[in-house]
Structure 1
Amino acid sequence: MPFGSNEEYNLPIAKFESMLKTNTVFFFDSTDFEHIITYYLDEGKVAKAKKATQIGLEQHPTSSELKLLEVEILIFENKLDKAEALLEDLEEICAHNVELYIQKANIFSKKDMHQKAIQTLKQALAVNGEDPAADILSMIGMEFLFLEDYANAKDYFLEALKEDHLDYAALYNVVFCYEYLADHDGCITFLNDFLEVNPYCEVAWHQLGKQYAAKKLYKESLSAFEFAIISDDSFIGAYFEKGKILEKLKRYNEAIDNYEYTLELDDPTSFAYLRIGKCHEKLGNLDLAKQNYYKTVHEDPLLDKGWLAITDFYYRLENFQKAKYYIQKAINIDEDNVLYWKRSAEIHKQLSMFEEADIAYKKTIELGNYELDTWVSWADILTHLGENDTAIVTLLQGLEFYPEDSGIEYRLAALYYLMHEDIKGQYHLTNALEHNYDGHELASKLFPAIFDRPTVKNIITKFKKAS
């Protein structure tokens, strides 16, 4: 009975597996060993690949192809000196073997010698002749990526795609380069040209949809994702992206349909449940929103967006006690999550639990959140607690990040007046008036006793007349 191509490929692997189990030695020709080793390397089974290489070289000690595979394994294991030594020996007997240059380039790349890797890969192209291999072109593109030369990288990935239009890795890399170069229009032109030749490439349609979305061309984006689904009706990523666009167009029921379809295609994902919950909340279906938020954290208990969604759900309902419970649960899972601590501070502030809010804001700053409202809100909490000195220090720190913010300046002015440091108070009040004169009306509501003082009113009046 004749074997098909797959059977011809799989037979040596099955035979080799049997040999390992029975601890017997079978003979294979060198081509079979090449198939076996390559198969194990592709599967990430390096130990078996090494075993096959060892036995293969014992049976075929002069096979340059097997020795080159040994070099590949040595490079994978970062044994670069051994790999280089073996390549030097091989260079004398197979100087025109393309794989020799590829492995040399891999060593240069591992050593961060990317220009030398590129030169060596260009030699490989020359050896390969008039029919350049897409994988070599892509490798050159990757070396340019390592050098952050995105323009040249893009050109080589484009060349790789010309040789093999099914090279999706090259396609993704072309798009990546266009995005890094902030050339959305160029990327859209490229993808449309590519689709003229490959009209059923779901990956290209998907990427085109994302490019249109980046330019907020939602109608065109939606069409692209629909074509991606027509090309592959099980393409989960396209359904997700289509759902996100439908959300932006406020077509929430249709968005839900797309997200729910992904649940039928594959295992449930926390992202799908989260988006479904958001859509239901926008539609006013609060019970369904809540159910899906709970499913989100059940599916992925470590997803911060899920816990924040539940917390914010109750926060918007002004059920601050429940919001406090869930944000604390989130903090217990990841105590270094800055978003959790900031939300905790806001919730405790709403509950008039000012000492707890103070702790949370302090932790928020320690974790690197330097947003303007964080500094201002924390200072307001400290002021409420009567810790004026600490509030001033906090505002001065905030002023380093936001030197022209009138809100910080007005607060500093009021606090310095409270501390009987009128000269400093006047200095910051003048700065605040210069940045935003009308802001003194809000400041007077926060510190009525200070802004009712005749001296302060006089400064504001004189500033108005002078301007």
Structure 2
Amino acid sequence: MSRFFEDGNERDVRDLIGRFEEMLRSNQAHFFDVDEFEDIINFYLNKNNMAKAEKAINQAIRIFPGNSIILLKKAIVLMNRDHNENALKVLTEIIEMDPGNSEAYIISGDIYSQQKQYEKAIHSYKLALPDSDEPENIHQNIAFEYEALNDFTHALFHFQKALELVPEDDNLMYEVAFCYEILEATDQAIVWFNSYLDKNPYSSSAWFNLGNMYAANDDFSKAIEAYDYSILIEEDFASAYYNKANALMNLDRYEDAIACYKETMLYEEPDALSIFYIGECYQNLGIYEKALKHYKKALKMDESFADAWIAMGTIYDELGDYLSALENMKKGIDLDDSNAEYWYYIAETYRKEGMNDLAIEAYSKVTVLDIFNLDAWQDLSDMYLITGNTEKSIKVLKECLESNFDSAEIIAQLFVAEYQNGYICQAADTLLRGLKTDAHIFIENLTDFPEILQDPVVADIIKAYIPDN
């Protein structure tokens, strides 16, 4: 790198450029030393003027053939012009002359990275490490190549190496956290961040990321403690307030969460999601008027916010205003008709309003979108029973068991339906299946049907299977 651009030398580079361009115009020879050529080339590279940079390089090579600094510039120009193979040849020439030239290895790595030859890029960057003045940058480059290979274990290692060299670099801190999240290694992350904080206790971003890891582990009390330290160090850290509010909400500390969301807004503009969460807190506190006010405010900020429409619908449902509930829920579903939870909410409201056909349709939609939603399968089966379609009710439960084959609850419901409708052989098979799957849960789900449990045949089978029952 030139003295002018790297060291801030105040000599007039424009005078140097003027002399060089005069030489080009007049076609008369001017002498420039290697440092001057380097400054000239860097000037044009910074201006993205590859044509003149190349002219300066060619002039320099005539006077200083084999100079590795000038050859490096040539490789850079070739790379910028997508002449990567020629650039690699020049870099190979440099490395043969100067095996310890870390810049040549770095540029080779950059080229291989552009070509998506990530293993070769990693190899080149690693060769640059021993002689590099900025190993933290090389470790970071290596980490990004490993990320491109979806090898987040090695990426994490190199991000951590880089962070050891520049512990104040917050960007590296977040890259480390990202790798731990992708690896789903929150326990290891907690250990690492605590160790890091032992050496760097005033890193607000480290406390923040530690809080995120505790939150990912559902340890919200410790998450809040970590966020508090982060805020203590950096009072205007909006994200720390926001995540702390989320953690408070997860602990059902809704009033504290509301206060914390409002503190967030002192340091950044409120968005629809923050306003929505405040509304959700008020809804959980049973303060429906304020909840509706915040949901409506969120929708003014973003009318396509489907969750807000659904949440308003659930409040109207709780208040017994089913028509208003349906009106709002439909708007939410129109915005996101593949959300199983939305369909379940509207199915419940249809059911309460006595709109059985629409309830069946909505429950059916849930079972398609989320085959593991046992409540929806059970409710759908119940709806068919209510409407007198016993065969369909039983069929639904059997369909459910195709994807939820080990659900003792569903098996118990199927057993009751078969027993009550006189399908004795099928009921006997289902009884044995339930006892084999999870006898305790199966029998627990039959306690509302004492007449079945007191049936001598059923009682004998259960006793034979569980002698102490």
Q: Is 1:303 matched with 2:305?
A: yes
Aligned mates of 1:72, 1:326 — CA distance in 2:
57
Does the 8 A contact of 1:132 with 1:163 survive in 2? no
Provide Cα deviations, 1:415-465, integer angstroms capped at 9, x if missing partner: 445766432233224434563224333357xxx8xx59xxx9332232244
Identify unmatched segments of 5+ residues in structure 2.
Answer: 14-38, 62-69
Q: Is the alpha carbon distance of 1:387 and 1:114 closer, same or farther for their aligned partners in structure 2, counting shifts above 3 Å? A: farther
Q: Is the alpha carbon distance of 1:65 and 1:230 closer, same or farther for their aligned partners in structure 2, counting shifts above 3 Å? A: farther
State the secondary structure of the residue aligned to 1:194.
helix
Does the 8 A contact of 1:433 with 1:463 survive in 2? no
State the secondary structure of the residue aligned to 2:448.
helix
Q: Is 1:330 matched with 2:341?
A: no
Does the 8 A contact of 1:209 with 1:224 survive in 2? yes
The aligned length equals 421
State the secondary structure of the residue aligned to 1:265.
coil
Q: Is the alpha carbon distance of 1:346 and 1:222 closer, same or farther for their aligned partners in structure 2, counting shifts above 3 Å? A: same
Does the 8 A contact of 1:71 with 1:87 survive in 2? no
Match for 1:439: what amino acid?
A: N
Which deviates the most, 402-411 or 417-426? 417-426
Counterpart among 50, 53, 59 of residue 50 in structure 2:
53
Aligned mates of 1:181, 1:433 — CA distance in 2:
38
Q: Is 1:229 matched with 2:204?
A: no
Which deviates the most, 324-333 or 95-104? 95-104
State the secondary structure of the residue aligned to 1:254.
helix
Aligned to 2:244: 242
Aligned to 2:43: 32
Identify unmatched segments of 5+ residues in structure 1.
Answer: 13-27, 38-51
Aligned to 1:92: 93
Aligned mates of 2:221, 2:337 — CA distance in 1:
41
Q: Is 1:263 matched with 2:265?
A: yes
Q: State the shift of 1:88 in Å.
A: 2.5
Q: Is 1:319 matched with 2:321?
A: yes
Aligned to 1:441: 447
Q: State the shift of 1:183 in Å.
A: 4.9
Aligned to 2:374: 372
Q: State the shift of 1:290 in Å.
A: 1.3
Aligned mates of 2:385, 2:190 — CA distance in 1:
54
Q: 1:413-428 maps to which residues of 2 (within 5 A)? A: 413-416=415-418, 421-428=423-430
Counterpart among 280, 285, 289 of residue 287 in structure 1:
289
Aligned mates of 1:72, 1:343 — CA distance in 2:
58
Does the 8 A contact of 1:101 with 1:124 survive in 2? yes
State the secondary structure of the residue aligned to 1:431.
helix
Which deviates the most, 423-432 or 370-379? 423-432
Aligned mates of 2:111, 2:420 — CA distance in 1:
68
Q: Is the alpha carbon distance of 1:111 and 1:246 closer, same or farther for their aligned partners in structure 2, counting shifts above 3 Å? A: same
Q: Is the alpha carbon distance of 1:400 and 1:85 closer, same or farther for their aligned partners in structure 2, counting shifts above 3 Å? A: farther
Provide Cα deviations, 1:234-287, integer angstroms capped at 9, x if missing partner: 221011012223334554333222211322322221221122112223444322
Aligned to 2:174: 172
Q: Is the alpha carbon distance of 1:429 and 1:173 closer, same or farther for their aligned partners in structure 2, counting shifts above 3 Å? A: same
Q: Is the alpha carbon distance of 1:195 and 1:411 closer, same or farther for their aligned partners in structure 2, counting shifts above 3 Å? A: closer
Aligned mates of 2:7, 2:247 — CA distance in 1:
42
Provide Cα deviations, 1:3-42, integer angstroms capped at 9, x if missing partner: x999999x99xxxxxxxxxxxxxxx9322233344xxxxx
Does the 8 A contact of 2:109 with 2:125 survive in 1? yes
Counterpart among 202, 205, 208 of residue 206 in structure 1:
208
Q: Is 1:278 matched with 2:280?
A: yes
Aligned mates of 2:387, 2:79 — CA distance in 1:
66
Counterpart among 110, 125, 132 of residue 129 in structure 2:
125
Q: 1:119-158 maps to which residues of 2 (within 5 A)? A: 119-128=123-132, 131-158=133-160
State the secondary structure of the residue aligned to 2:275.
helix
Q: Is 1:390 matched with 2:388?
A: no
Aligned to 2:109: 105
Larger Rg: 2
Q: Is the alpha carbon distance of 1:71 and 1:297 closer, same or farther for their aligned partners in structure 2, counting shifts above 3 Å? A: farther
Q: State the shift of 1:57 in Å.
A: 3.5
Match for 1:458: what amino acid?
A: P
Does the 8 A contact of 2:177 with 2:209 survive in 1? yes
Match for 1:459: what amino acid?
A: V
